[in-house]
Amino acid sequence: MTPKHIVSTASAFTAIWFVAAAATASAQDSALPAGFKTQPLVKSGQTRDKQPLIYPKTDKPEIVSVIGIIEPGGRTPLHEHPVPTHVYVLEGEVELQSHGGQPHQYKAGEAYIEALNHPHQLFNKGNVPAKVLVVFVGEEGKPTTVTAK
């Protein structure tokens, strides 16, 4: 094999490697693996009441998630959240009543971002328990929910 042939072969292998690497990177960036799908729920820079999202300024961030179950005819206490709060209805239907606002119904599969520092309650006016996943973006050692006055 001549030096010219070795250089040509090495150049060809290098070109193939770059093309394969670029194709792999592109495929990983733009496609989900087979058998995995996503369904967007909420993408927003503001709460359901059109307030801008404000994240806690802290060196001790903390995410807390809870599942709440509201029995038929039940409700949460009147409360508010000092941190961004994402709510996803897993089962049943709930009615959100915000202080000074119109009631709004959310059913299983729907999500929203709660208003910051705004009194509200969730009610279950249905005949089956309602289950909600609530995710708080807060600060370690600080409350995610406070009783409204």
Tell me, yes or no, whether 55 lies in a domain: no
Q: CA nearest 77: which of 115, 107, 112, 119?
A: 119
Number of domains within the chain: 2
Tell me, yes or no, whether 131 lies in a domain: yes
Q: Per-residue confidence at 30, pLDDT binned at 50, 70, 90?
A: low
Taking residues 109-135, what's their average pLDDT?
96
Q: In this structure, are 33 and 76 located in the same domain?
A: no
Q: In this structure, are 26 and 70 located in the same domain?
A: no
For 52-74, write each residue's pLDDT tens digit: 988 899 999 999 999 999 999 99
Tell me, yes or no, whether 12 lies in a domain: yes
Which one of 10-14, 19-23, 36-40, 121-125 scores highest in mean pLDDT?
121-125
Q: Which residues, 6+ apart, have CB-to-CB distance to 37 below 8 Å? A: none
Tell me, yes or no, whether 48 lies in a domain: no
Share of the chain above pLDDT 70, in %: 80
- Cα 89 from Cα 109, distance rounded (Å): 6
Q: In this structure, are 118 and 77 located in the same domain?
A: yes
For 88-108, write each residue's pLDDT tens digit: 999 999 999 998 889 999 999
Which one has a higher pLDDT value, 12 or 137? Answer: 137
What is the residue range of 71's domain? 61-147
In Å, how far are 13, 57, 105, 113 from 139, measured between CA atoms?
52, 8, 30, 18
Tell me, yes or no, whether 52 lies in a domain: no
What is the pLDDT at residue 13?
Answer: 43
Tell me, yes or no, whether 99 lies in a domain: yes
Q: In this structure, are 73 and 126 located in the same domain?
A: yes
Q: With a cut of 90, say whether residue 21 has pLDDT above it.
A: no
Tell me, yes or no, whether 16 lies in a domain: yes
Share of the chain above pLDDT 90, in %: 62
Q: In this structure, are 121 and 76 located in the same domain?
A: yes
Q: What is the CATH number of the domain that holds 82?
A: 2.60.120.10
